[in-house]
């Protein structure tokens, strides 16, 4: 019942929302960041809800309830640990997507102020000199790609650690 109002934001086009926010708040960085966060909330909520429902309706949660464990213990001890790897993997992807969305909006002139120090603004400002000074375009582009790949690798590196913790917790609960 609570997820339905959140899903109303799902079909909104991100660049359109960022352009409206950018014009309405004159490219204020906090407003653009909140717009990108609001655009990501529905998909994250659906994913985490599905992972939590899967863990809460599983045999481990049922066994914990039958043993007399409290609802808080089942929720935080099992369901929370089962959702953590899903949230970490999704966060690695969402952060990169959010950075690319803001950079694309800034490249098109829809997001932040054109004088702001942003990779999308730098790429847009130096694209006319691509053949004369290619590093002026390639440097911010490579930084954008390296940041996104780094965040994804960091999230992937944290996943096995979170998976081992969940496995130990489940073995301890038995």
* 106 in Cβ contact with 14 (< 8 Å): no
Which domains are seen in the chain, by residue range? 3-173 (1.10.3720)
Distance from the first to the final alpha carbon of the chain: 33
CA distance 101 to 17: 11
> pLDDT tens for residues 100-145?
888 888 888 877 777 888 888 888 888 888 889 889 889 999 999 9
Q: Tell me: pLDDT of 169 over 70.
A: no
Q: What is the pTM of this model?
A: 0.74
Q: Are 46 and 4 a contacting pair, CB within 8 Å?
A: no
How far is the C-alpha of 91 from the C-alpha of 103, rounded, in Å? Answer: 18
């Amino acid at each position: 019942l609570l997820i339905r109002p959140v899903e109303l934001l799902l079909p909104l086009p991100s660049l359109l929302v960022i352009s409206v926010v950018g014009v309405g708040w004159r490219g204020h960085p906090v407003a653009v960041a909140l717009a990108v966060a609001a655009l990501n909330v529905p998909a994250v909520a659906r994913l985490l809800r599905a992972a939590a429902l899967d863990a809460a309706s599983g045999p481990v949660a049922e066994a914990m309830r039958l043993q007399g464990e409290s609802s808080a213990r089942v929720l935080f001890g099992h369901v929370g640990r089962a959702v953590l790897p899903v949230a970490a993997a999704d966060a690695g992807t969402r952060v990169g997507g959010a950075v690319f969305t803001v950079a694309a909006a800034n490249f098109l002139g829809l997001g932040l102020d054109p004088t702001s120090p942003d990779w999308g603004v730098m790429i847009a400002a130096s694209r006319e000199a691509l053949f004369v000074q290619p590093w002026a375009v390639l440097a911010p582009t490579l930084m954008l790609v390296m940041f996104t790949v780094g965040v994804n690798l960091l999230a992937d590196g944290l996943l096995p650690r979170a998976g081992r913790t969940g496995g130990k917790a489940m073995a301890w609960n038995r």
